Amino acid sequence: METNYTGLKVATFRERFSELCDSDPHNASAIAEALHVSRQTVSAWKSGFRSPKEPTIIAIAHHFHVTVPWLMGFDVERQENETPALAIFPDSKGFGKILAYMSNYCFEDYKTVVDILNRTYEKMRKEGIDL
C-alpha cells in the first residue's frame, strides 16, 4: 500500500518517537511491554540506531494516539482519529496485538485489513461522519 502525503517532512521518526516517549508518563519498560518489544529496542528507536518496520510503526502510532504520517515526520495533524476497527475492542491494545500478530504471521491478510480500514476511514471522513 503506497500513500502520498502532501505535508512537508519536517522531522525524523527518531525525533517524533523520542518526543512521544519523553511525554509519556510511563517508562521505557512499560512502552516496550505495550508494543511487545524489548526495552533495548525502544532505546534503539529513540536514539535512531534502529527504525521499526511498517507494521510496528502503525502499532506505535496507535499506542500513542498519533497519525502515522506525523510519527514519520511529516507536517500533518498529530492526533490520531479513532478508526472503526478500534470500536470492536475496549482499548487499542487488543487491536494492536491483532495487527502485530497478523503482520508477523498473516502478512497478506494484514495488508488487506489495513487497506480496508484506510479506505473506510477516508470515505467516512469525506462524508463528515464523526468517529
Q: How far is CA 92 from CA 41, 62, 102, 106, in A?
A: 21, 7, 15, 20
DSSP 75-120: SS--BPPPPGGGGGSSSHHHHHHHHHHHHHH-HHHHHHHHHHHHHH
Q: What is the pLDDT of residue 48?
A: 92
Rounded CA-CA distance 65/122 in Å is 17
Q: What is the pTM of this model?
A: 0.57
Q: What is the pLDDT of residue 91?
A: 56
Which pLDDT value is given to residue 1?
A: 40
pLDDT for res 121: 74
Q: What is the per-residue pLDDT for 52?
A: 92
Query: What pLDDT score does 112 carry?
Result: 78
Instruction: Tell me how far apart the alpha carbons of residues 15 and 80 are, in angstroms, rounded to a whole number.
Output: 18
Q: Where are the domains of the chain?
A: 13-126
One digit per residue, the tens of pLDDT, for the chain of length 131 reads 445 555 688 889 999 999 998 887 677 888 888 888 999 999 999 999 999 988 888 888 888 888 888 888 888 878 765 544 444 455 556 666 777 777 766 767 777 777 777 777 778 778 887 66
Q: Is 3.30.43.10 the CATH number for 13-126?
A: no
- What is the pLDDT, as a whole number, of residue 29? 84
Could you say which DSSP state residue 26 is in?
S
Cα angle 9, 12, 15 (rounded to 5 degrees) comes to: 130
pLDDT tens-place string over residues 11-38: 899 999 999 988 876 778 888 888 889 9
